[in-house]
C-alpha cells in the first residue's frame, strides 16, 4: 500500500546543475501537486495537474517545469538549480480538484551548493 512515492529522498546539487524529481501514486487519483517547504513558510504550491494532460502554475513556479507523464506519474524538473531552490519538496495527490483530501509523499530534501 505505497500511496505516493517520491524519489530520490535526498539530493545535493551544484549551482547550475539540472535534475528531475519523480513522483508516482497508486491511488487512482486524477490530481497531483508539487509543493516546496521552507523553514517558517509552511507549504507553497509550485505546480499542479488537475488531470492527466493538464498542468498549471501555482504560487511559486519560477525556475521549475513539470510533466504529467500519465495518470500515475508527475515529475518536477529544475533546469538550472539555484541556491534559493534549496528546500524540501513534497508531491501530493487527490481525487479530482482541490476540494478533495490531499495525500503526501515522504518528501525530497534538496540542497544546492
Chain residues binding other proteins by CB under 8 A are 33, 40-45, 48, 58-59, 88, 90, 92, 97-104, 106-107, 109
Cell of residue 22, nine digits: 519523480
Cell of residue 90, nine digits: 513534497
Complex with other proteins: residue 78 or 107, whichever CB lies closer? 107
Complex with other proteins: residue 40 or 53, whichever CB lies closer? 40
Could you tell me the smallest distance in angstroms from the CB atom of residue 88 to other proteins? 7
Query: What torsion, rounded to 10 degrees, do the Cα atoms 113, 88, 36, 95 define?
Result: 150
> What is the C-alpha end-to-end distance of the chain, expressed in Å?
36
Could you tell me the smallest distance in angstroms from the CB atom of residue 71 to other proteins? 19
Complex with other proteins: residue 13 or 33, whichever CB lies closer? 33
> What's the CA gap between 27 and 24, in Å, rounded?
10
Could you tell me the smallest distance in angstroms from the CB atom of residue 16 to other proteins? 27
For residue 32, say if its preceding peptide bond is cis, omega within 30 degrees of 0: no
Amino acid at each position: 500500500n505505497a500511496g505516493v512515492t517520491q524519489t530520490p529522498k535526498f539530493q545535493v546539487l551544484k549551482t547550475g546543475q539540472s535534475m528531475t524529481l519523480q513522483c508516482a501514486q497508486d491511488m487512482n487519483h486524477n490530481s497531483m501537486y508539487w509543493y516546496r517547504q521552507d523553514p517558517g513558510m509552511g507549504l507553497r504550491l509550485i505546480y499542479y495537474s488537475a488531470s492527466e494532460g493538464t498542468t498549471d502554475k501555482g504560487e511559486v513556479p519560477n525556475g521549475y517545469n513539470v510533466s504529467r507523464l500519465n495518470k500515475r506519474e508527475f515529475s518536477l524538473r529544475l533546469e538550472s538549480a539555484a541556491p534559493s531552490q534549496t528546500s524540501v519538496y513534497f508531491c501530493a495527490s487527490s481525487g479530482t480538484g482541490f476540494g478533495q483530501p490531499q495525500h503526501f509523499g515522504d518528501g525530497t530534501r534538496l540542497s544546492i551548493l
